[in-house]
Structure 1
Amino acid sequence: MWNLRITADLIDAFGYVKSLDIILKTTSKALRDKCDCYVPEIVVSEDDVTYASMIAKVLVPEFEEEIGLPEIACGLGSKPKDAGKAIANCDKQEIRQSLERLSFICKEKKFAHQQLLTFEAQTGVARMTVGDEAVGKLETGTELAKFCSHAC
């Protein structure tokens, strides 16, 4: 068994996707099963990195920074419901539920991105099929909607 050392540099370098993946792999089987939804396509923001570091500080004893309890207790804004309170209280069950909600959000983001790519691919092929002369006629919203419904 290797000794896990998560640092602020690791989280900054790889973002919350990689750090949460590592965190989940070191916890229970229920959390480990959620790892497959953390994909590199998800955009990493500063808030996401902060959220990951807060979770890491609670779940991974070797994490090198102190937990900022006052900041955490103030809440995490758009982060999963009750996550700040759970982290401040070291409530593992509530953290697990927060991570499961975050997992669902990640899956939805990935699904939406895939749907967009599929739609773009289908409409691109349809535009080539009908020819350039038909594309120029798609000026109103109704005509565009009809075109898209036939293309998909």
Structure 2
Amino acid sequence: MFKRNRFNIDFDVTKETPYFQVDTQHRIRFAMEDINVPLLKDVLNTVFQENQNLSLIFASEYIVNNVRRSSKAKLGKYLTIRNWKEHVVQNEMSGEGTVYIQVNHLDKDEVMKYCIQVYRGHPQSYIAFFNHDFLVYVSTDVIDIISDDSEKVKKLKERYHETYNKFYEE
């Protein structure tokens, strides 16, 4: 588990996704089947403003019987990865675990390019991008956005009222 205190979530492949770790006032979801590339770009441009420090966390490797196995995320194909930090979470008794990598100072255009590739079906890692205000979890099924500021989420829900997924709303 890798704790993201600012957003009050545990980024952990063995737990529920960040979306389900916060209440409805702090989250918004877009189903990939309900959006298109221009809308995806618009959402990401709204959430990730220019000149903000943009970071990511992802599951880089899985540890099985004390042996590391790559998640085969192939992020380097889309993102320039420098200044990364490794966080190893391993159960000493079972030898099972996960290696998380955090990368800071990402290029927003590269993040956009990666998210578009995931939208198009590229195999993804357990990954989230974040800045000071938002954490964006990306998978081939959904784009989940969470924030500790409920007003910012409210504005996103107003702006994207017609397209965001309301299935888990109360």
TM tier, smaller = under 0.3
* Larger relative helix fraction: 1
Give the greater-gyration-radius structure (CA): 1
TM-score (norm 1): 0.27
* Larger relative strand fraction: 2
